[in-house]
A and B are shown apart, each in its own frame.
Chain A
């Protein structure tokens, strides 16, 4: 930890810019060498955290112990060789070949062959912080966010990742406090900066608009691909784990203990949606017909056919946490704490 802060100190460029990039030096000494994930039969029955469609080429899921699984049809899954054992939290493919996965130990992995092989772009076990989401605009420009306000960007496909800090993402009081500290005590400022930001949990990107949610009701918006950020006014104090802009243009956020909020005015005002249950919600996704799905702990699966105004309970009786999912030809591919599964959606109202 300490070592990291020193490295950060020496590479500060300017305090006046809103965004401060801190170069991570490659020779940063890791206190634990990465160890390749075990290739084992139960990988597809293990805790999985994210599943995505690889454009034109099937599906990818990631999870604990460095597990990455690939599937052509969403039914048969095959484990890929991965050079780390960290719990992976998110995966994103920009096209059929190029993809990135992130997770604990601030790990960033990269593939150029559709997920068959993965290389380490970043592995920082000494930070003891997880990255939570990753997004790429194209093969070159991408971003990764995570706990304790971790925010990395790249302009070269991840060959070099740069740490970013946006003062606007801190709360108003913290912004004032930090601005003052930056002038009086630059060293404390850098330390303090590490602790003022909340956990960043999830991104939603559409064009140049980026939505980001996190700890303690944190919601922020950027309209210029992450150059400038605006933190929305607090409307809830618990953690938010996903954000989604529906096909009809509404905003939906979901989080701790079954809290769901909906906004039809781009986040100006939020409406508390009451749910039939109170387990923590992990993800929101939408199918072609605009049906919205919420997944959560304790087998929670909810469906809305009215743009998120009301939800119907389709919860799974096995009580296993469902972390994410995606629609597939009238069925759902769900990633759960006991692996990936294909579930039919009952049509009955």
Chain B
């Protein structure tokens, strides 16, 4: 066989030049370790959105005129419940100025009571009167403050810039994608740090509390929480080390796989830096995953070598034999993982693509460190006599267990197992159909509900009449469209139809504001709250609205309809998007188009659609890759089916679990399913690769399975449990998405292992009828 010939050739040259191999690895490791120290946490808003999606094309087109969805909101609240005092106004004004001069902020779009564009208009008997809400001659005495309060009411900014109950005031700012000082993409995490230190740090006091929300702050908080991941990483290493020692009962055999797995992590991080990537807070978990997968393969290697040493081989011969035995199944398993992760590249969202690259790079590296370096290292180990004795003592208890388990490969048990599996699958399939797309809970889904960030979100949405969940439908039309009654009226109809969609809190557009202004021109009589048909009157009403309101561009050829939502649950967004498309088609024409969408909820809509659209193809590609690799290595359809079927059942069950636990399919959970398949396939491949040759030779199935369990069963069981324990500690993480990933991965590790040990032999019992 050509593969065997290749493996032999490779093995021969590898173990012939062991020292050279070690030196090469040492040099590479030193170099990559040096590079890895440069690795940076790196987050950018644009990486989180599906830029190719049609909504995001609209978004990018209008970002210049209307600002993006990358905003921050800073609410400052006075402990007395009333902001109208000199101390508050002094601090608030300084905070406003600090925000304006923070690098990365679009200065002209900073809005608060103190921005010059914050003006009021009032109707008096002979027309309009107006001016800045905070007059030029403002002094913070009782009279001046009373006047500001009155002006704020007239300006209609209560609820937006001032809390409904006057306990807080708001500063809003838009962030630039490129930092004008450095001409580099804005460092979001550093920016968040600045907000924390220069705004919250400076102005938070007994009297004044500071609440900051917005994408940049959220990422900053996630990055902060991600630092905790290092602790989890440490815990995982300790737990794994103890487990490996219990398993191998040898210090050397514990140290080597752990060290090789850590080398894999170092290589991965070093390579990322060499390739010019940073690590996104969202993929901070990948190094841990790489470590875990490395250990899992390392354990197979030490298990195989240890068994051979116990059988009387010397270390070099044992390591060499293990290498030969495991290179193909291990390589296939790791390649499946790699390809599995690479399929994530089809999703056009920056963070997921980075995750795909980070993870596939890490797993590919394990082929080198744990399938090549590890056996070479082990060939140098001197095993003591006592170790040989300890390991070679036959353990009748374990054998009994393995023999009992091998009953799964008998037809009688197999039938029961398969019926149960089918039932579970049916239930899981039904549940998985109800999987929700997107975020299911209020606040920032990456963080816990009681996190500072989400508490601030709840405070702001509670005290202000604003929602951070809004979607803008951009009405693109001809220049001066706001002077056309027909176009303005269609925008008005659209807005009204959207306001009637369940889940919509309110909406605003140039049309609705112009109607109120028209009433104001008619002595404030609400019966005149219409769009005048007469062009002059219409212009009179709409020209009162400035572009700084974000309701029109300079020549009013683009007018957004801002739709505020009650929440950002996927079903709410989906319902609103569906209605917007329907009414937009009805009311639009070639000249006037209702284009989706910008605003935070618009971005979420695009992301949800991208994630939802990617789910099926991603699964197809992952399975296709795994199937092809299995076919190549087993050269048997039966064997491939025996590995893939349990894997697919587990995928479906994992989706059902997501439904049950109310975990939505999001940018952070979508990759878990692909990762789960990639990792889960390892068990089946290891078990079946020992069986397939013996089955071909005609060995009875139960016997073949019993042999496979004796050879690799303990390693499979051990790996599943170790990995599961490691990831299950994530439920204590400060990051909500890490908790979700932890739960899902724990489930995947355990249940895939059970699938390989229980369902795989049961399937085999029916596939290899001749071997009974």
Contacts and interface: CB of A to CB of B under 8 A. Distances in A.
Contacts of A38: 493, 496-497, 500
B526 interface: yes
Contacts of B537: 128
A42 B530 contact: no
B534 interface: yes
A323 B526 CA distance: 8
A193 interface: no
A47 B524 CA distance: 14
Given A297-B524, A323-B526, A40 B533 contact: no
B450 interface: no
Interface in A105-164: 105, 125-126, 128, 130, 132
Interface in B499-556: 499-500, 523-530, 532-534, 537
Interface of A is mostly: loop
A40 B526 contact: no
Given A40-B500, A104-B530, A280 B525 contact: yes
A126 B500 CA distance: 29
Contacts of B499: 42
B527 A238 contact: no
A257 interface: yes
A87 B527 contact: yes
Given A49-B527, A238-B125, A128 B533 contact: yes
Contact of B527 (A40, A42, A89, A128): A89
A337 B526 contact: yes
B533 A49 contact: no
A65 interface: yes
Contacts, number: 56
A49 B519 CA distance: 13
B526 A125 contact: no
Contact of A130 (B486, B497, B500, B528): B528
Given A40-B497, A41-B500, A125-B533, A280 B524 contact: yes
Most A Cβ at <10 Å: residue of B500, B524, B526, B530: B526
Interface string A14-56: 0000000000000000001000001011100001010000000
Contacts of A91: none
A47 B529 contact: yes
A280 B527 contact: no
A50 to B, nearest CB: 9
Contact of A280 (B496, B497, B523, B532): B523
B316 to A, nearest CB: 80
Nearest to B516: A337
A256 B497 contact: no
Contacts of A47: 526, 529
A132 B526 CA distance: 12
A104 B528 CA distance: 8
Given A40-B500, A41-B500, A257-B125, A321 B533 contact: no
Interface string B476-493: 000000000010000001
Contacts of A132: 527
Contacts of B524: 280, 297
Interface string B347-359: 0000000000000
Interface string A264-289: 00000000000000001010000000
Nearest to A65: B496
Interface in A242-274: 256-257
Highest count of chain A CB atoms <10 Å: which of B125, B526, B527: B527
Nearest to B537: A128
A49 B526 contact: yes
A323 B527 contact: yes
Nearest to A320: B526
A42 B500 contact: yes
A241 interface: yes
B125 A297 contact: no
A20 B85 CA distance: 64
B525 A87 contact: no
A148 to B, nearest CB: 12
A277 to B, nearest CB: 14
Nearest to B532: A128
A307 interface: no
Contacts of A87: 527, 529-530
Contacts of B523: 239, 256, 280
B386 to A, nearest CB: 81
Nearest to B485: A32
Contacts of B533: 32, 105, 125-126, 128
Interface string B102-128: 000000000000000000000001000
A256 B523 CA distance: 7
Contacts of A241: 525
A337 B526 CA distance: 8
A297 B525 CA distance: 8
Contacts of A282: 525-526
Given A85-B493, A128-B533, A321 B125 contact: no
A241 B496 CA distance: 28
Interface string B687-728: 000000000000000000000000000000000000000000
A167 B600 CA distance: 60
A321 B526 CA distance: 8
Contacts of A32: 486, 533
A254 to B, nearest CB: 13
Nearest to A126: B533
A204 B640 CA distance: 89
A257 B537 CA distance: 24
Given A40-B500, A41-B500, A130 B527 contact: yes
Nearest to B153: A319
Contacts of B530: 64, 86-87, 104, 130
A64 B125 contact: no
A132 B522 CA distance: 13
Contacts of A128: 532-534, 537
A125 B496 CA distance: 21
Nearest to B123: A280
B179 to A, nearest CB: 43
Contacts of A104: 530
Nearest to B538: A128
Interface in A218-256: 238-239, 241, 256
Contacts of A86: 530
Contacts of B496: 38, 40, 65
A130 B526 CA distance: 12
A65 B529 CA distance: 10
A49 B500 CA distance: 20
Contacts of B497: 38, 40
A125 B489 CA distance: 13
Nearest to B527: A89
Nearest to A89: B527
Contacts of B532: 128
Nearest to A38: B497
A126 B496 CA distance: 24
A89 B519 CA distance: 13
A97 B496 CA distance: 31
A130 B527 CA distance: 9
A32 B530 CA distance: 15
A40 B579 CA distance: 13
A32 B485 CA distance: 11
A202 B726 CA distance: 78
A241 B534 CA distance: 24
Given A38-B500, A86-B530, A323-B527, 18 more contacts: A32-B486, A38-B493, A38-B497, A40-B496, A41-B500, A42-B499, A85-B493, A87-B529, A104-B530, A125-B533, A130-B528, A239-B523, A241-B525, A257-B125, A280-B523, A280-B524, A297-B524, A297-B526
10 contacts: A38-B496, A40-B496, A40-B497, A40-B500, A41-B500, A125-B533, A128-B532, A130-B528, A239-B525, A337-B526
Leading 5 A-B pairs by shortest Cβ distance: A40-B500, A128-B533, A128-B534, A89-B527, A42-B500
